[in-house]
Amino acid sequence: MGAPEFNPMEIDLSLAKRIAAARRLVALTGAGVSAESGLPTFRGAGGQWNNMRPEQLATAEGFRADPKMVWSWYQHRRRAYRLAAPNAGHLALAELGTILPSVTIATQNVDRLHQRAGSRQVIELHGNVVENHCMRCNEPAGEVSLESDELQACRHCGGWLRPSVVWFGEMLPVEALESASEAAAAADVFLSIGTSAQVYPAAQLPALAQHNGALLIEINPEPTPLSHLAEAVFRAPSAQVLPALVKAIRQVS
Ligand code: OAD
């Protein structure tokens, strides 16, 4: 038997009114948002880091030690992302962007599903898997064919191409982190959705927003280190909560 369905009656209309009145809403999203698109999370039940090692697959050292294995894993993920479709949670966030004056999504996801759902203001904190760059000279290399898992060489220097994602131990793109921090500090409402809130610096954004006066809401079936800070918590999948929340926001607007 699966988890019980989320009951939209759980949405307090006074909370919906506070969200509806937001001038600036920011959503920090993580792998859980894409779970209902069939993409596995990293931590928690069914998480990839339960049986795979992040230091082998998501670090520059891991790539140098075994570039073929790491490249194959990303090619496999890219194929999965291409086949996946945005779910009701992604679509509801995109719809929210058409209702409120400003909705910014700061995502740790590299799957581009927010953009495919129609969200306009998406900050990619951890890069994306679509593009590549050279491991040696950093030259951007765009997209590659997903037909083969063969390593690809840089056209400029012959170094191996790597996906343009942020690996552990690497800096986040400066502009992305700055924009996300500015948006968080200026937010009236901050939603933390489908993230275990364990990976920094992304995980500091909710507290930054709350410190600057934002209403902090968490949507996650499991507790996280953030849960005790949040003013409202929805313990249910985001593909169920977000459409119901957007419907309630429309009702009170
Ligand atoms: P995690 O895999 O750490 O956390 C996913 C969260 O989603 C967990 O807290 C789950 O409880 C929750 N979850 C699961 N199903 C859900 C659903 N249907 N709706 C809502 N929430 C759900 O993912 P992130 O927090 O995104 O970095 O992880 C952050 C970073 O760590 C990733 O960007 C990745 C990872 O290692 C790198 O690879 C460098």
220 lines ligand 1 (CB under 6 A): yes
The whole-number pLDDT of residue 105 equals: 98
Closest Cα to atom 16 of ligand 1: 32
Express each pLDDT in 221-243 by its tens digit.
999 999 999 999 999 999 999 99
pLDDT band at 44 (very low <50, low <70, confident <90, very high): confident
**Test site for ligand 1: of 177, 195, 205, most ligand atoms within 8 A of the Cβ:** 195
240 lines ligand 1 (CB under 6 A): no
Three-state SS for the chain is CCCCCCCHHHCCHHHHHHHHCCCCEEEEECHHHHHHHCCCCCCCCCCHHHCCCHHHHCCHHHHHHCHHHHHHHHHHHHHHHHHCCCCHHHHHHHHHHHHCCCEEEEECCCCCHHHHHCCCCEEECCEEEEEEEECCCCCEEECCCCCCCCCCECCCCCCEEEEEECCCCCCCCHHHHHHHHHHHHHCCEEEEECCCCCCCCHHHHHHHHHHCCCEEEEECCCCCCCCCCCCEEECCCHHHHHHHHHHHHHHHC
Closest Cα to atom 35 of ligand 1: 42
Express each pLDDT in 171-223 by its tens digit.
999 999 999 999 999 999 999 999 999 999 999 999 999 999 999 999 999 99
pTM greater than 0.75 (yes/no): yes
For residue 17, how far is its CA from the centre of ligand 1 (angstroms)? 28
48 lines ligand 1 (CB under 6 A): no
For residue 217, how far is its CA from the centre of ligand 1 (angstroms)? 16
Q: What is the mean pLDDT of residues 31-36?
A: 98
Q: Backbone phi, then psi, for 75, in 5-degree steps? A: -60, -40
The whole-number pLDDT of residue 3 equals: 64
The whole-number pLDDT of residue 150 equals: 97
The whole-number pLDDT of residue 7 equals: 86
Residue 113 has pLDDT above 80, yes or no: yes
108 lines ligand 1 (CB under 6 A): yes
Instruction: State the chain's mean pLDDT as an integer.
Output: 96
The whole-number pLDDT of residue 2 equals: 56
Residue 66 has pLDDT above 60, yes or no: yes
Q: What percent of the chain is modeled with pLDDT above 70? A: 98
For residue 40, how far is its CA from the centre of ligand 1 (angstroms)? 9
168 lines ligand 1 (CB under 6 A): yes
Instruction: From the CA of 202, give the closest atom in ligand 1.
Output: 29
Return the amino acid letter for 169.
G
For residue 194, how far is its CA from the centre of ligand 1 (angstroms)? 6
Residue 102 CA from chain centroid, whole number:
18
For residue 16, how far is its CA from the centre of ligand 1 (angstroms)? 25
pLDDT band at 6 (very low <50, low <70, confident <90, very high): confident
